[in-house]
Chain A
Amino acid sequence: MAISRDQVLYVAKLARLELGEDELERLTSELGAILDAVSKVSELDLADVPPTSHPLAVVNAWAADEPRDSLPLEDVVRNAPAVEGRMFRVPPTT
């Protein structure tokens, strides 16, 4: 099950990874090999089998609508690469 270079590029866009040319090349072949191995799951006919997304059958884990203290600003922005005033600063979105 090979994956094409175009598919790898598309996935990299979705995942927001700016891959270099050599990385793109290497990943295309590595992902091809890994997909070959994992495609084994499609051998099984599982039409009637329900999916498992949680290994433990917990339901209705929720909390009461009671406010707790938020973080002080120094903690909010402590690790931020760029801050202006009380807000996080990022390059323009377009």
Chain B
Amino acid sequence: MSAVVDTLRLTAEEALALVERGDVSPAELHAAYLDAIGERDAELHAYLRTVEYDGATSIPIALKDVISTKGLETTAGSRILEGYVPVFDATVTSRCRQAGLSVLGKTNTDEFAMGSSTENSAYGPSRNPWDPARVPGGSGGGTAAAVSAGLAPWGLGSDTGGSVKQPSALCGNVGLRPTYGTVSRYGIVAFASSLDQVGPVAKTVRDVALLYRIVSGRDPADSTTVELSEPVELPTSERLDGLRVGVPRQAVALEAIEPGVRAAFHSSLALLGELGAELDECDLPLSFDYGMPCYYLIAPAEASSNLARYDGVRYGRRSDGATYRETVERTRDDGFGDEPKRRIMLGTYALSAGYYDAYYGQAQKVRTLLVREHAAAFERFDVLATPTSPTVAFPLGDKAADPLAMYACDLLTIPSCLAGLPGLSVPCGFSEGLPVGLQLVGPQFGENALFRAGHAVERALELDLVPERLR
């Protein structure tokens, strides 16, 4: 391993300082991470491909393979995009490049970001650095595994129903799903447009805040973006006096939450109290019962339309037939894996004549109620706290055969996604030797409060988040 830096422990903030002081050059840093990847990624399969240093002036970054990179293959974990080389950068890619960041490579993802384990990648699953027999979570398991195993100082993922937060929890990272509309989706291979958000994954809350500062803000190329209502603040305080934390009764009551996860969550609540926060129970009566059904109608419906462009005409893999129609049908049958097909079918059905009102239309109304009940909760609280994932990392293959079991992984992350709200996952302890994440949800544009709370928890816990087997 490269003697230049210890990539396992180096935070992005520390790396930036090293480069700024001239202790390490951007090229050396990039090389150090490529060395680490060479050493450990054969086992983890966090990356689908890596890139040589290209002259960037700052530290490296890993990008989930749904993020378009000009001149660098971008597959979204799908066969149908095998060999597809974007001719333009996603806005977040350009913003990273403008900030001098050096793209290390493209990380593995469930196909079209559909999944919670990265097992749905057409290029094989990624593995959890804490236990390679277990999944890193998903869909952004590649970025999470890379950050956790020192294969990148930080990275970007995309989160539709939990794809940044859940793998961050399962790999022991900090991950932010920002307020919908604060980070551009231009150039992100779309899954469900009204839910997709790009978010940072890193070792610390301050790193996450720094990266959020780089990528956020209105983009004229994405009509659904806005300027931040206040600048991103890097958290410094270790106290949380006066912070009002709500604990949704209905979330905590869920049977799906493993005892070990529940224990870690309760001790982190106690910790929040010790740090000065005011805790109280709150009610989100519909979110945890109806969030999942609502999400699994809206997201597939939008996905069925977003994935219609993969017809083998302009790009991507094509399986020829005698006619245009046959070619499209064959291309899509050969090119899409099981999960995208399931969701395309489900979403097409939910939008089809005679079913729209009962399914998609009804789900949109449920979404209104979820928006309202979250808004009501934020009249009393600054932050809501739940576990991020009901379980710790599970063994590969455990849920792969049962779509509904896999969907249940996002039970706790989905409701706030539907409401367009920001959520931060911060490591809050361990269960069975595996990391547990605390999910902090804020009101729209409430990222700074999440950073403050997450930072104080992180400082108070001082967990060693380098996977034991790699220390």
Give me the interface of A with B, judged by CB distance under 8 Å. Answer: 3, 7-8, 10-12, 14-20, 23, 27, 30-31, 33-35, 37-42, 44, 46, 49-56, 58, 61-63, 71, 75, 78-82, 88, 90-94
A17/B352 in contact, CB under 8 A:
no
Q: How far is the CB of A88 from chain B (nearest CB, A)?
A: 6
Q: How far is the CB of A83 from chain B (nearest CB, A)?
A: 10
B297/A41 in contact, CB under 8 A:
yes
Output the nearest chain B residue to A46 by Cβ-Cβ distance. Answer: B365
CB neighbours of A16 from chain B (8 A): 308, 311, 325, 328-329, 332
Q: Is B142 an interface residue when CB atoms closer than 8 A count as contact?
A: no
Interface size on B, residues (CB 8 A): 73
Given contacts A40-B289, A41-B363, 15 further A-B contacts (CB under 8 A): A15-B308, A15-B344, A33-B404, A41-B294, A44-B366, A49-B369, A51-B365, A51-B368, A55-B367, A56-B420, A75-B87, A79-B316, A81-B315, A93-B323, A94-B323
Known contacts A16-B329, A44-B290; decide if A88 and B366 are in contact (CB<8 Å): no
Output the nearest chain A residue to B350 by Cβ-Cβ distance. Answer: A38
13 sampled A-B residue pairs with Cβ under 8 A: A16-B325, A31-B349, A34-B346, A39-B293, A44-B366, A44-B369, A51-B367, A58-B181, A71-B87, A79-B83, A79-B84, A79-B314, A91-B324
The digit string for B333-352, where 1 denotes a CB below 8 A from any CB of A, is 10010000110111011001
- How would you classify the secondary structure of chain B's contact residues: helix, strand, loop or mixed? helix
B333/A27 in contact, CB under 8 A:
no
CB neighbours of B311 from chain A (8 A): 16
A55/B420 in contact, CB under 8 A:
yes
B362/A41 in contact, CB under 8 A:
yes
Residues 269 to 296 of chain B near chain A (Cβ within 8 Å) = 286, 289-290, 292-294, 296
B224/A17 in contact, CB under 8 A:
no
Q: Is B444 an interface residue when CB atoms closer than 8 A count as contact?
A: yes
CB neighbours of A75 from chain B (8 A): 87
